[in-house]
Amino acid sequence: MIKVGIVGGTGYTGVELLRLLAQHPEVEVEAITSRSEAGVRVCDMYPNLRGHYDALAFSEPDPRRLGACDAVFFATPHGVAHALAGELLAQGTRVIDLSADFRLRDAQVWAEWYGQPHGAPELLDEAVYGLPEMHRAHIRQARLVAVPGCYPTAVQLGLLPLLEAGLIDPGHLVADCKSGVTGAGRGAKVPSLLAEASESMKAYGASGHRHLPEIRQGLGDAAGGPVGLTFVPHLTPMIRGIHATLYGRLQGDPGDLQALFERRFADEPFVDVMPAGSHPETRSVKGANVCRLAVHRPAGGDTVVVLSVIDNLVKGASGQAVQNLNLMFGFAENAGLAAPALMP
């Protein structure tokens, strides 16, 4: 049994961590922080957790208390983990950061996209990008893991087999992605109001989204060099879910694409390659730490289309964070993550 802390427990990813860890046989949540809600019991803020965390209350961040934990999750806005991660690592605590603070290897690129200097550039060389399907061995040894974003997870998993095999032109990739409203966070914002987001769909960030350099970095690793990517996210009127429609231009005869995907993910517990001709739905992954994929070659032409769906709060955030925790501490990779998706 290990003890973990959660910094920033009042957002959607924080409560999702609590929900998943309540089922984890090897984890006890020792501390959960919130400056604005200090003293409030978790079960009073989140009645769905009554009977699971009745004695746990939010508290002010205390580096000594957090440093006594075996691992600490950061479910915070960007910039927060910069200030505390180094201090916790010095105390022997392993850090799993759900924000973007350590995802990009280049501090200057991070500063350009996030509008402020990187607060802990000395830790970037140590940070491991927490996409298990690419970096499982490194995650097992890591002290600091950067959990991928939701869009980057769906896009990278969908294009990995094609780029690794050199079957598509890396200079002309397209990712047309849709997200549920929880992707915008729990803060009160006018665009997230029911009357604003319901019965409508819109693109945003078409000229440049913060996840773009992260996706490029990961796809470049898979391709063995720089990639050209057009990435357009959209807001859809649903609570949870990411749907990524991915396009690549084939180079020569690709052979059996279905078999390629099935081979690549045969040993991956949280990637489901669906039967040929399938069209995965976001509701099929709701609440589950699963990415479901389908690969198509329309009319046998030179374009390949990959459909990739995840729950943005689970495989796109908190579930993937728990999956990383399991690898770091030698637990079964599906510990706390074995529940099927919710239907309907």
Instruction: Indicate the DSSP class of residue 70.
Output: S
Question: What does the angle CA 336 – CA 46 – CA 189 come to, to the nearest 5 degrees?
Answer: 105
pLDDT of residue 186: 81
311 close to 283: Cβ distance less than 8 angstroms: no
Taking 90 as the threshold, does the pLDDT of residue 194 lie above it? no
- The predicted-structure confidence for 49-90, as pLDDT tens digits, reads as follows 999 999 999 999 999 999 999 999 999 999 999 999 999 999
- The sign of the dihedral angle between the CA atoms of 183, 205, 133, 269 is positive
Answer yes or no: are the C-beta atoms of 13 and 20 closer than 8 Å: no
* CATH assignment, 151-312: 3.30.360.10
User: Looking at the domain that runs over 2-126, which CATH code has it been given?
Assistant: 3.40.50.720
**Mean pLDDT, residues 15-30 taken together:** 97
E-assigned strand segments in 216-316: 229-235, 242-250, 271-273, 291-296, 303-310
**Confidence band (pLDDT; 50, 70, 90) for 189?**
confident
Q: What is residue 101's predicted lDDT score, i.e. its pLDDT?
A: 98
Q: What is the percentage of the chain residues whose pLDDT exceeds 70? A: 100
Which pLDDT score is estimated for 58? 96
Q: Is the pLDDT of residue 188 over 80?
A: no
Q: What pLDDT does residue 252 have?
A: 85
Residues classed as catalytic: 150
Condensed to tens digits (0 to 9), the pLDDT of residues 106-165 reads 999 999 999 999 999 999 999 999 999 999 999 999 999 999 999 999 999 999 999 999
Q: Cα separation of 16 and 76, whole Å?
A: 13
Question: Mean pLDDT for the chain?
Answer: 96
Mean pLDDT of 194-212: 93
Structure tokens at 202: 């819109």
Per the CB < 8 A criterion, the answer to whether 321 and 129 are in contact is no
On the question of pLDDT at 92 being above 90, the answer is yes
Rounded CA-CA distance 117/130 in Å is 23
Domain limits, CATH 3.40.50.720, in the chain:
2-126
CA distance 288 to 89: 30
Residue 192: predicted pLDDT: 83
- Residue 288 contacts by C-beta under 8 Å, 6 or more apart in sequence? 311, 314, 315, 319, 337, 339, 340, 341, 342
Q: State the average pLDDT over residues 15-35.
A: 96
* pLDDT at site 332: 98
At 190, is the pLDDT very low, low, confident or very high (cuts 50, 70, 90)? confident
pLDDT digits (tens, 9 = 90+) for 260-281: 999 999 999 999 999 999 999 9
Q: Where in the chain is the domain with CATH 3.30.360.10?
A: 151-312
| Measured distance CA(152)–CA(210) in Å, rounded | 10
pLDDT at residue 196, as a whole number: 87
- Cβ 106 vs Cβ 220: under 8 Å: no
Burial class (CB in 10 A: 0-12, 13-18, 19+), 227: buried
- Of 41-45, 168-172, 192-196, 333-337, minimum mean pLDDT range: 192-196
Question: How far is residue 212 from each of residues 68, 134, 188, 218, measured CA to CA in Å?
Answer: 36, 18, 25, 10
pTM for the structure as a whole = 0.97
